[in-house]
Amino acid sequence: MFFFKIFNNNSPVVFIMMPLFLILLWIKNFTTGSYTVIPFDNIQMPLYSAIQGLTFKNTYIAIFIGFLLIAIQVILFIRLNVKYIFIENRSFLPAFIFIFISGSFIQLQRIHPALCANIFFLWAFDKLLSTYKRNNTFAAVFDASFLISIGSLFYFNMFYFLVFLWIGFLVIKPFSFSEWLISIIGFITPYFFLISYYFLTDKLYYFYEMIHNNASARNSILFWDFSYYLFYGFLLFLALVSTLYFLQGINVKKIVIRRYFTILLLLILFLVTAYILLKSASVELLTMIAMPISYLIAYYLITIRKKWIKEVWVAIFLILLFLIQFFN
């Protein structure tokens, strides 16, 4: 058992291994061209509809674009940790965990709305954290809300993430009335231009129908094999253990790290709540919850003292991930 030792490294060799593991995780769909139709393929937001056109209805192109989007998100994920130091140890372990979780659901190894929107969410999350101990935050507040709005034009449920953004700002700093106003303006700006376009082209009815269909859609993705239950059950257990471990030592952490991890925990809670309450939300939210869970689990694995426990956790994680590849 040596996987933890390999992943918990920051050498150039380990960095080069990342795309190799990503390819291995997606290799089955690359070779077979397997493409699973999901409900949002029939009910598309405008920007997702546009990017779908780039696939020319070719399943291999759709899978390849999805692969590229994940690769971009891995880079954004690593950049977040470098910039805000969630994990003080220089390690690529969080990035490996992110790769494994975000690519674990075989049927979503393709382009889909949440995958497109998550790039804008990671960018908005960066803007949110950047407001810590800054005096003039108007630009960052506007940008974060604007990016969430753009994301919602790919994946409608991103619309609700504005609420999380406001909660995050309240955790980071006192949020003034003017900043609330700037946030609302930033969010409605893309919709103002979109509605203007539909108005000028006499298609307002199409805009209303599109929003209504996406908001009321029942996004039931029913491809649950027993291997998924094993993997995600273990992932839930490991995330709970990691959360309790962090909360146990929260008082000795720097204030900024406490606030950052508080936002990560609130994001997990927000996404779980969205999954339960929104009938239009389904397993595609895994794309977004991969980020906070990866940081949380990586923090736990890196900071616990007993090396054999780390290796056992990682070994079980990889074995269950392999079972998904084998049975799906």
| Residue 84 CA: distances (Å) to CA of 11, 71, 88, 127 | 20, 20, 9, 11
- Give me the pLDDT at residue 210, please: 92
Chain centre to alpha carbon of residue 287:
4
pLDDT at 140 > cutoff 90: yes
pLDDT at 184 > cutoff 70: yes
Confidence grade of residue 271 (pLDDT, cut at 50, 70, 90) = very high
Residue percentage of the chain with pLDDT more than 90: 74
Residue spans of the domains in the chain: they are 3-134+223-327
Distance CA(128)–CA(106), nearest Å, equals 31
Tokens standing for residue 56: 């020319």
Q: What is the DSSP letter of 242?
A: H
Q: Write down the H helix ranges in the chain.
A: 3-7, 12-32, 46-52, 59-84, 93-102, 113-129, 138-152, 161-172, 177-200, 204-216, 226-248, 255-277, 286-303, 307-327
- Give me the pLDDT at residue 244, please: 96
Distance CA(6)–CA(230), nearest Å, equals 24
Distance CA(52)–CA(68), nearest Å, equals 14
- Give me the pLDDT at residue 134, please: 85
Mean pLDDT of 95-109: 95
Distance CA(208)–CA(215), nearest Å, equals 11
- Our CA angle for 314, 97, 155, nearest 5°, is 145
Mean pLDDT of 251-279: 92
- Give me the pLDDT at residue 1, please: 57
Q: Are 139 and 179 in contact, with CB atoms under 8 Å apart? A: no
Upper half-sphere CA count for residue 239 (Cβ side, 13 Å): 20
Which residue, among 217, 221, 231, 246, has the nearest Cα to 290 in the 3D structure? Answer: 231
pLDDT at 295 > cutoff 80: yes
Burial class (CB in 10 A: 0-12, 13-18, 19+), 282: buried
pLDDT digits (tens, 9 = 90+) for 17-47: 999 999 999 999 999 888 877 878 888 999 9
Please, which residues have CB within 8 angstroms of residue 185's CB and are 6 or more apart in sequence?
Answer: 142, 145
Mean pLDDT of 238-255: 91
What is the rounded end-to-end Cα distance, in angstroms, of the chain? 26
Backbone angles phi, psi at 269, to 5 degrees: -60, -40
- Give me the pLDDT at residue 90, please: 84
The structure's pTM equals: 0.95
Distance CA(63)–CA(50), nearest Å, equals 16
Mean pLDDT of 274-301: 94
Q: Are 99 and 14 in contact, with CB atoms under 8 Å apart? A: no
Distance CA(140)–CA(123), nearest Å, equals 11
Confidence grade of residue 141 (pLDDT, cut at 50, 70, 90) = very high
Average pLDDT, the chain: 92
pLDDT digits (tens, 9 = 90+) for 188-237: 999 999 999 999 999 999 999 999 999 888 776 666 789 999 999 999 99
pLDDT at 238 > cutoff 80: yes
- Give me the pLDDT at residue 270, please: 97
Mean pLDDT of 82-87: 91
| Residue whose pair of structure tokens reads 């790769």 in the numeric block | 99
Q: Are 117 and 159 in contact, with CB atoms under 8 Å apart? A: no
Please, which residues have CB within 8 angstroms of residue 226's CB and are 6 or more apart in sequence?
Answer: 327
Tokens standing for residue 89: 């140890």
